[in-house]
Structure 1
Amino acid sequence: MARRRTVPVTQTRTRATRPTRAAAMAAPCLLALSLAALAAGVFAPASLAAPAPPLTVAAHAAAGSIPAPVHRGALRISGPFRDGATVVAAGLSWRAPALPHGLKLVSFAVGYTWQSCASGGKQCRTAADSTATPFAARDYVVGHADTGRVLRVTETATEVVVPSGQPSADFSTITRSVTRTSTTAVHAYSHGKAPVTAFVNGTPERKTASTEEYFQVTGPHANSADGPVTLTYRVDDGGWRSMPSSRVLYTGKLAVGPHRVQVRTANQAGGTTIRYSWHVVSMAAPAACRSSRRGGCWYAPHLDSKGRPMRWDWQIGRVTALQRTGGKAVDIYDIDGFLTTRAEVTAIKTSWQAATLPHPRTVCYLDLAWENYRLDASPGKYFPASALGLVYYGYPAERWVDFRQLDALKPMLDTRVGMCAAMGFDAVELDDIDGFDPPSTTGFHLTPGDVENYLAYAFNEIHRDGMTALWKNSPYLSSWGREYTDGAVVEECYLSKACFAAQLAGSSQYGITCTGLHGGTPCGWDDFTTDVTTHQPTGKWVGEAEYTDDGYVCAPGRTCPGAREFETFCKSVYAPPYGFTAVLFESNLDGRTFDTCPGQFRKH
């Protein structure tokens, strides 16, 4: 038996702006519309500076006129209430409501949160064996620490709504939750039955190029009367080792070939063993860029025709890019792939003024984190529910993605990259590639190898679609990334004193030790600008962003202490022969602040 509680509808209007490291973005277009239609220019986004339409998402949300998700049935917890048994949130079905005129649905998802509570539903806490994947948590394996307590499940449906007539940077997230608390307490594990555990929060694919892995297991299911439980593990034919108290084991470096992890759980009642086998394969080699366009692939050079770092603007916080003209003109525009049309890309490349090129080139910004306001966001077709992990740095509209599930995520990557190619972009910037730093960030305990395996496919796909690729942040993997990419975007390296290889030389994390520029694993961005290739004889381009929000680099003309002077920033980052295109932005990247070295341009 259980008690049912319905949480009132909550309505929030959200703009996803990161205070630093890549402010993001905005609402996508109609869910039912294909990415191909978006690329073809079906929508012509309005400028953020345009007058607000009569009925905005914000106005609807403020008035409480956006209906919440609709459910049928009664939520119940089905299954045996016993340590180690599986219970299920059952009885409810959800659908999106009819929306007011002027609004459209972009994504819909149902998530689950499990808790255990003292008798009467008091003193609730996160259930013992909760996972990092709420959209895949309809089933719950009852944890040992839940014994003697009642279970509570909250089922939450979330809809994301955007304007239908005038695309904008606004979206509204509407949720409805139903909660059920059991009246039956969890029974103890059967006395005399051997204890068990299970792998949790994902495993590597059966074939992967990652040469190291983490595995997580649940707390052992056991009866306390059968004595203390021991957890041990072994990798391949190695010796048995005690499981760390975190219940996260690391395989160490692995050779190409078959591998197996075993975890044994034992007490006086006996023992059980779980196993997982997989195969490490060779990493895919970097693929050359191949384009059927006239002129072929475009490679951003380190230096422009005047011998200076090629100028760049980053406007992923705008619906329509702001053109820089005259002395403010730039050669590269980095803009949001979902908020741009083919017509806009064509206009930039054929009619806009550039600094040194005939016309500017364009970079398609894509985020590798999951964002619920994107066209392809509904868990299922493009993003498996089991691949959506912890919330991205406090932004509930965004979640980390399990890069280990490469095969399942390939359709998403292929479609997104294909969208950029269809719109005529010259290059692609992939953001949020550093989910291994630290490993617990995502909930999946990813390794550098997991990230490399995923990115090797993604960057090669970009090249196969006739565009060049840009690396993003993540200095510990940058020397590897340089082999697969044609340039880089880096944030706040001046603030963190981590722009150049010499600044990071000797530091070590995740089995990677940074060397000087001419060593095996340099971790600075001068590793790109000094990488001379046939296509980039002056080196690979690097764009560096500092933010006014950090309060460190001062605006041009202001008198500030030492290193904070804008001119000092430019001398340090832009002026050296191996320097970068350095710009001071606001973190929302909406084009309003653009202080670029060596000029002094502001507030357009």
Structure 2
Amino acid sequence: MVATVKSPSDYINNNGQITLSYSTNNNTDNSQLDFLAFDVNSSEATPKATVTPTPAVTQPPATATQGNHWQPVPGLAWQIQYTGSLDTSLKVDVFNLDLFDTPASTISKLRADGKHVICYFSAGSYENWRQDTGMFPEAVLGRNLDGWAGEKWLDVRQLDVLIPIMKARMQQAADKGCNGVDPDNVDGYSNNTGFTLSYDDQLAYNKALADEAHKLGLAISLKNDLDQIKDLVTYFDFAVNEECFEYSECDLLKPFVSAGKAVFGIEYNLSSASFCPKANASNFDFLKKNLSLDAARESCR
């Protein structure tokens, strides 16, 4: 059947939708329509379309997973070494090395050999032997870190003072050719620092660190700070953990693996046989290391 509609406005509602009804000679089911075709012709001038400008959309803040930087994934073989003669011949994918103590030439050689290099520094403490100690005003220095001579907690509420210092350190990492950074002591709020640091104070500081790293094209780790993983996993590219099996805390690291991000872990006191099967089952990359973080290592996989 072909029908000609003389007055389209009789069938088009205020929203521009076509409304119609149909009938059939089939008395058993009036809805058995095989197909419906429209051939629309009009002798009237085609009205100009009204263009409504699309309002500007405010984009949400970029998360740590956006940008052009390395993304470590589970299953990478790695070594962490801060003392002793560095063994660059290890068949590993990743080296975690001290930012200040490792020459750019060493990093360049590792990169040329296809390795990725993570450069360590402390972002939450002052170390009196580092070359940039003069940049830290007395007002940001807190209590001594237990067991670590010459090291004091920092007042991470003072972003305007500390972030430029940490940015300069990360710039040094980028200039040396590091692929990523491993800022330590970023859980001061849960320690006796000498300051009244809150959970939110620490979050703000850690997010600022991640933002600065990504601006420089660096991947960044969340070091320990287990209780804030739920709020920070999208900002950080991988985790570095110490002794989660000894303290039965490892389940808190699983959001990183669920997000496809590596968890590099270390145990100092436990035997590798006691934690490696559990680490492998969780898709973590764990090592048994000496507390001095010398060349010795036992890898779980």
Normalising by structure 2, we get a TM-score of: 0.76
1:371 counterpart (127, 132, 143):
127
Matches within 5 A, 1:374-393: 374-378=130-134, 382-393=135-146
Q: 2: distance between equivalents of 1:425 and 1:372?
A: 24
Q: 1: distance between equivalents of 2:292 and 2:183?
A: 17
Q: 2: distance between equivalents of 1:363 and 1:571?
A: 26
Q: Secondary structure at the match of 1:317?
A: coil
Q: 1: distance between equivalents of 2:117 and 2:92?
A: 11
Residue 183 of structure 2 is aligned to residue 430 of structure 1: yes
% identity of equivalent residues: 28
Amino acid paired to 2:254: D
- 1:454 corresponds in structure 2 to 205
Q: Secondary structure at the match of 2:150?
A: strand
Give structure 1 regions of 4+ aligned residues with deviation exceeding 6 angstroms.
Answer: none
Q: Secondary structure at the match of 1:420?
A: helix
Aligned length: 241
Matches within 5 A, 1:193-208: none
- 1:362 corresponds in structure 2 to 117
| Shift in Å, 1:408 | 1.3
Q: 1: distance between equivalents of 2:65 and 2:215?
A: 8
Amino acid paired to 1:573: A
1:299 counterpart (60, 64, 71):
71
Q: 2: distance between equivalents of 1:315 and 1:284?
A: 35
- 1:567 corresponds in structure 2 to 273
Deviations 1:515-562 (CA, angstroms, capped at 9, x unpaired) = xxxxxxxxx11110111xxxxxxx100111001xx3xx22xxxxxxxx
Q: 1: distance between equivalents of 2:89 and 2:190?
A: 36
Q: 2: distance between equivalents of 1:587 and 1:450?
A: 30
| Shift in Å, 1:453 | 0.9
| Shift in Å, 1:287 | 4.8
Q: 1: distance between equivalents of 2:291 and 2:81?
A: 10
Given the superposition, is the C-alpha separation of residues 449 and 544 from structure 1 closer, same or farther in structure 2, using an over 3 Å criterion?
A: same
Q: 1: distance between equivalents of 2:273 and 2:71?
A: 29
Residue 215 of structure 2 is aligned to residue 464 of structure 1: yes
Amino acid paired to 1:482: V
2:256 counterpart (524, 528, 535):
528
Q: 2: distance between equivalents of 1:394 and 1:300?
A: 31
Normalising by structure 1, we get a TM-score of: 0.39
Q: 2: distance between equivalents of 1:437 and 1:485?
A: 19
Amino acid paired to 2:162: L
1:482 counterpart (218, 233, 245):
233
Q: 2: distance between equivalents of 1:443 and 1:367?
A: 18
Residue 81 of structure 2 is aligned to residue 315 of structure 1: yes
Residue 158 of structure 2 is aligned to residue 405 of structure 1: yes
Q: 1: distance between equivalents of 2:265 and 2:61?
A: 29
Q: 2: distance between equivalents of 1:478 and 1:317?
A: 29
| Shift in Å, 1:432 | 0.3
Given the superposition, is the C-alpha separation of residues 392 and 568 from structure 1 closer, same or farther in structure 2, using an over 3 Å criterion?
A: closer
Q: 2: distance between equivalents of 1:482 and 1:401?
A: 23
| Shift in Å, 1:492 | 0.5
Given the superposition, is the C-alpha separation of residues 289 and 321 from structure 1 closer, same or farther in structure 2, using an over 3 Å criterion?
A: farther
- 1:156 corresponds in structure 2 to none
Q: 1: distance between equivalents of 2:177 and 2:159?
A: 26
Residue 298 of structure 2 is aligned to residue 595 of structure 1: yes
Q: Secondary structure at the match of 1:313?
A: strand
Q: 2: distance between equivalents of 1:289 and 1:388?
A: 33
Output the aligned Cα RMSD: 1.7
Partners of 2:156 and 2:202 within 8 A in 1: yes
Q: 1: distance between equivalents of 2:276 and 2:64?
A: 35
- 2:262 corresponds in structure 1 to 541
Residue 267 of structure 2 is aligned to residue 582 of structure 1: no
| Shift in Å, 1:469 | 0.8
Determine which structure has the larger helix proportion and give its number.
2
Q: 1: distance between equivalents of 2:209 and 2:190?
A: 19
| Shift in Å, 1:288 | 5.2
Q: 2: distance between equivalents of 1:341 and 1:486?
A: 24
| Shift in Å, 1:394 | 3.7
- 2:105 corresponds in structure 1 to 343
Matches within 5 A, 1:551-566: 553-554=270-271, 566=272
- 1:222 corresponds in structure 2 to none
Deviations 1:169-192 (CA, angstroms, capped at 9, x unpaired) = xxxxxxxxxxxxxxxxxxxxxxxx
Amino acid paired to 1:313: Q
Q: Secondary structure at the match of 1:494?
A: coil
Q: 2: distance between equivalents of 1:589 and 1:394?
A: 16
Determine which structure has the larger strand proportion and give its number.
1
Q: Secondary structure at the match of 1:449?
A: helix
Q: Which runs of 5+ in 2 are unaligned?
A: 1-59
Greater RCO structure (CA 8 Å; 6+ sep): 2
Q: Which runs of 5+ in 1 are unaligned?
A: 1-282, 292-296, 303-308, 352-358, 501-523, 532-538, 555-565, 599-604
Q: 2: distance between equivalents of 1:474 and 1:324?
A: 32
Amino acid paired to 2:285: T
| Shift in Å, 1:341 | 2.0
| Shift in Å, 1:406 | 0.5
Given the superposition, is the C-alpha separation of residues 285 and 386 from structure 1 closer, same or farther in structure 2, using an over 3 Å criterion?
A: farther
- 1:414 corresponds in structure 2 to 167
